[in-house]
Structure 1
Amino acid sequence: MTTYPTTQQTFSRSAPVRLWEDGFALDPYRYYADLRAQGPVGWAELAPGVPAYVVTDRRAALDLLHDTETFSHDPRPWEATVADDSPVLGMMRWRPNTLFADGTAHVRYRTALLDAFDRVEPHDLRSRVHRAVRLLVGRIGPRGKADLVVDFARPLMALVFNDLFGLPDSASDRLNSALGKMMEGGAEAAEGEAEFGGYVLELIAAKAERRGEDLPSWLLDHPAGLTPEEVTWQVFLTLGAGHEPTANLVSNALSRILGNPSYYSTLTSGARPVMDAVVEVLHHETPLANYGIHYARTPVTFHGAWIRAAVPVVISYGALAHAAEQDHGARRHPGDASHLSWSAGPHACPVKQHTLLIATEAIERLTQWLPDLDPVLPRERLTWRPGPFHRSLTGLPVRFSPRSPDLPGGPS
């Protein structure tokens, strides 16, 4: 059993930091400061009556992410203690996929996913993104105004991921709606989970009947021999994890770019790469702010906190980013990958290069088509969606010179 620092820490007199409150979406950094004041591991609630330990220290986070002996990803012991209508169950409920598996099962699922995504060539993925951007610019371009969350980032991900998973563009709105409800963890979370589950079940049934050149078909035919049920749950995970955080990454990056006119001008002129803005978001406003959930196999002292079994131990990537900004300032080299937005250890994001390509190509292509995007609101007046897990804008209204992608002079 691994031993950890034992600086005294107690939660007995600490009220849990309530990450489900509306105020958390408004100002998460105040909540992160309260968590950090408790030590490397804070005490919080993910929903009313759903407590969790929250890791806010980088060293503690890395220890947690690499210690498969002490900690498990299997939530079933915790799940047995939670009400059936808990709004966070949609994001935390056990399913037979790589996220909630340990040991050989995890390796089997992860290998199948890696092999399937390796078949998506970068040039092919780039062309899918370009097609989706052109389609969306065709809808919003002539209007001269748009909401870059509602009209661009979220529908773009639905178009790209539906394409990768072998579904038509017409199914995009349904995917968007279901994932939005589930991610927020509010009153509609169970409805969103059911809608998304039905969406994936229909997809796998169609692919089991007739294969295509798409991710579900490749998973069904993988040498690991995944059953249709197992493929269903890998798709449930990857379709959700691909769509929602990547949409937030794009919209958060666009809000930072447009909120700084000098920054925006260097990007549109080509003097500065879009990747700089994307990396800034991963450092300071990571789209999946609190996740990487583990459970102690037995009670253990971890970085001074007594961790009970069957209680979630959440990594706050948002708090880690805030701590780094407080300690080291906002200026970083663009290649600095010291953030943990991709997680680490055996469960690190298996497709981060695909995600980065989608986000950077989407932003580059949009700003080439519509080079004079002008935010309607200053950045400090933008609002954020509620929920303990994500950092997600509700909207990003902009104005621009009307144009159609059919006009000459656009991207080639």
Structure 2
Amino acid sequence: MTTFPADHKDFFRTAPVRLWEDGFAVDPGSYYGALRAQGPIGWAELAPGVPAYLITDRRAALDVLQDDETFSHDPRAWERTVPEDSPVLGMMRWRPNALFADGAAHVRYRATLIDVFDLVEPHDLRERVHRAVRLLVGRIGPKGEADLVGDFAEPLMALVLNDLFGLPQSQGDRLNWCVGKMIDGGAEAGEGEAEYAQYVLDLIAAKTERRGDDLPSRLLDHPAGLTPEEVTWQVFLTLGAGYGPTANLLSNTLSRILGNPDYYSTLTSGARPVMDAVVEVLHHETPLSNYGIYYVRRPVAFHGVWLREAVPVVVSYGALGLFAEREIVSGRHPNDASHLSWGAGAHSCPVKQHTLLIVTEAIERLTQWLPDLDPVLPRERLAWRPGPFNRSLTALPVRFSPRAADPSGDPS
């Protein structure tokens, strides 16, 4: 029998901080503050009846992210403890892909993803983004007003990713709905998960029958010999992770830029790079705020807390960013290397550069086409989507001088 250490906390009799409440989206800082008050690890609830250890301290987070002997990504023991209709299962359920694998299986899956994404040349990806921006500005430009979430960030990611994954552009709304519902972790999460799985299954079935110049076809033909089922789940992971979080990073960054007129003027003049704003968002409003999910392989004493098996251990990138922001206020300025939004260790994001290129190019092109974007609402009145995992705006309404797209394809 495992003995509980007398000098370590066991939270099982403590009321958890409920991240599924509507109030969490409105004021995450107060929730993270309550968790941080418990120490480097707090006791939270991701959904009703689904508790988790939440890591709010950078040192403890790195110890989780870099210790593959103690911590695993495999959630199957936890899955047996939650009801099948739990709203967070869509984001946390085990699947045979790089996110939920350990050891040799993880190395194999990750290597195939790196190989096929490395074939996407930066100049080609940049051109895909430019085409998408041109199309979307052509739609919204004459109107003089737009929602930069629903009219720009989300459709842009659907255009770019459907292009890369060999899907018709008409499927963009379907992708947006099912991935959004799954990430939100609300009442429609199960329906969103099922619809998204069918979306990917239809895609892989089509590519199995007839290859194309796209990422799923390259995965099917990779020398590692992934089965169609394994390819299905790598695409399930990468298409979903590429769509929702990147669209949120794009809209969160636009919000941060437009909410500060001085900042916006330096960006549009070229005096300050867009990447500065992206890095700020990754520190303080990272789109996947609570999705570094691990499980201990055996009960263990860790940073003053007794961690039990089959209970999620969640690295809270949102909480880490909150306390990093306090460091900035006190005079310390972390750079891109100091935040952990890309993860760390063996499971760090393998397509970081692709994501950054999409977001920075999209913002630069949009602000060249529409240089006088003016937010309709002050930043403190913007609404955020509920859910324990993401930090995502519901809308970002703006006004601007109406303009038609230049047929040459260049801003004038």
Fold conserved (TM > 0.5)? yes
1:185-204 matched pairs, under 5 angstroms: 185-204=185-204
Residues of 1 paired with 2:336 and 2:186: CA distance? 35
1:408, CA displacement in angstroms?
7.0
- C-alpha distance in 2 between matches for 1:330 and 1:363: 30
Aligned to 1:291: 291
> Does residue 68 of structure 2 align to residue 72 of structure 1?
no
Q: SS in structure 1 opposite 2:401?
A: coil
- Report if aligned partners of 1:94, 1:100 keep a CA contact under 8 Å in 2: yes
The answer for unaligned runs of 5 or more in structure 2 is none
Letter in 1 for 2:234: Q
SS in 1 for 2:62: helix
Residues 154 and 176 in structure 1, CA contact (< 8 A), matched pair in contact too = yes
Aligned partners of 1:131 and 1:335: how far apart in 2? 31
8 Å contact kept, 1:276–1:334: no
Tell me if structure 1 keeps the 8 A contact 2:328–2:334: no
Residue 178 of structure 1 corresponds to 178
Distance in 2 between residues matched to 1:350 and 1:320, nearest whole Å? 21
CA gap of 1:188–1:330, structure 2 versus 1, over 3 A, is farther
Q: CA deviation at 1:410?
A: 4.1
Output the CA distance in 1 between the equivalents of 2:330 and 2:121: 34
- Cα 1:405–1:331 change in 2 (3 A) is farther
> What's the counterpart of residue 259 of structure 1?
259
SS of residue in 2 equivalent to 1:403: coil
SS at the partner of 2:338?
coil
Is residue 8–residue 301 contact of structure 2 (8 Å, CA) maintained in 1? Answer: no
Instruction: After TM superposition, give the deviation of residue 206 of structure 1 in Å.
Output: 0.6
* Distance (Å, rounded) in 1 between the aligned partners of 2:376 and 2:124: 34
Amino acid at match of 1:197: A
Q: Relative to 1, partners in 2 of residues 1:206 and 1:43: Cα closer, same or farther, differing over 3 Å?
A: same
Contact 2:99 2:347 in 1 (8 A): yes
Which residue of the partner structure matches residue 214 of structure 2?
214
Number of residue-to-residue matches in the alignment? 408
1:277-297 per-residue CA deviation (whole Å, 9 max, x = no partner) reads: 001101111111001100111
Structure 2 residue aligned with 1:349: 349
* CA distance in structure 1 between the partners assigned to 2:410 and 2:98 by the alignment: 41
* SS of aligned partner of 2:326: helix
- Paired residues of 2:134 and 2:409 also in contact (CA < 8 A): no
Q: Distance between the aligned counterparts of 2:331 and 2:85, measured in 1?
A: 43
Q: Does 1:326 align with 2:326?
A: yes
Instruction: Give the match for residue 238 of structure 1.
Output: 238
- What per-residue deviation string (whole Å, max 9, x for no partner) do you get for residues 126-167 of structure 1? 000001111111111111100000100011111111111011
Cα pair distance change 1:354/1:331, threshold 3 Å = farther
Pair 1:281 & 2:293 matched: no
Q: Which moved more, 1:90-99 or 1:133-142?
A: 133-142
Name the residue aligned to 1:139: 139
Q: Which residue type is aligned with residue 223 of structure 1?
A: P
Question: In the TM superposition, what whole-angstrom CA distance separates every residue of 1:303-339 from its partner, at most 9, and x where no partner exists?
Answer: 1111110110001000001111123428776853200
The share of aligned pairs that are identical, in percent, is: 79
The answer to whether the aligner puts 1:389 opposite 2:389 as a matched pair is yes
Query: Is the 1:279–1:334 Cα contact (8 Å) retained in structure 2?
Result: no
| TM-fit CA distance, 1:71 | 1.1
Counterparts of 2:12 and 2:174, CA distance in 1: 45
| TM-score, scaled relative to structure 2 | 0.96
Alignment-derived partner of residue 272 in structure 1: 272
Question: Is 1:400 equivalent to 2:400 in the alignment?
Answer: yes
| Corresponding residue of 2:45 | 45
CA contact (8 A) 1:158 1:175 kept: yes
Q: Measured at CA, do residues 83 and 403 of structure 1 come closer, stay the same or move farther in structure 2, by a change above 3 Å?
A: same
Q: Please give the secondary structure, in 1, of the residue aligned with 2:34.
A: helix
CA distance in 1 between partners of 2:332 and 2:323 (Å): 14
Query: CA separation in 2, counterparts of 1:115 and 1:281?
Result: 28
63-72 vs 387-396, which deviates more? Answer: 63-72
Correspondence for 1:129? 129
Q: What secondary structure sits across from 1:272 in the alignment?
A: coil
Is the contact between residue 179 and residue 196 of structure 2 (CA under 8 Å) also seen in structure 1?
yes
Measured in 2, the distance between the counterparts of 1:224 and 1:407 equals 44
Which residue of structure 2 lines up, in the alignment, with residue 340 of structure 1?
340
Give yes or no for contact 2:8–2:306 (8 Å, CA) kept in 1: no
Q: Tell me whether 310-319 or 402-411 shows the greater mean CA deviation.
A: 402-411
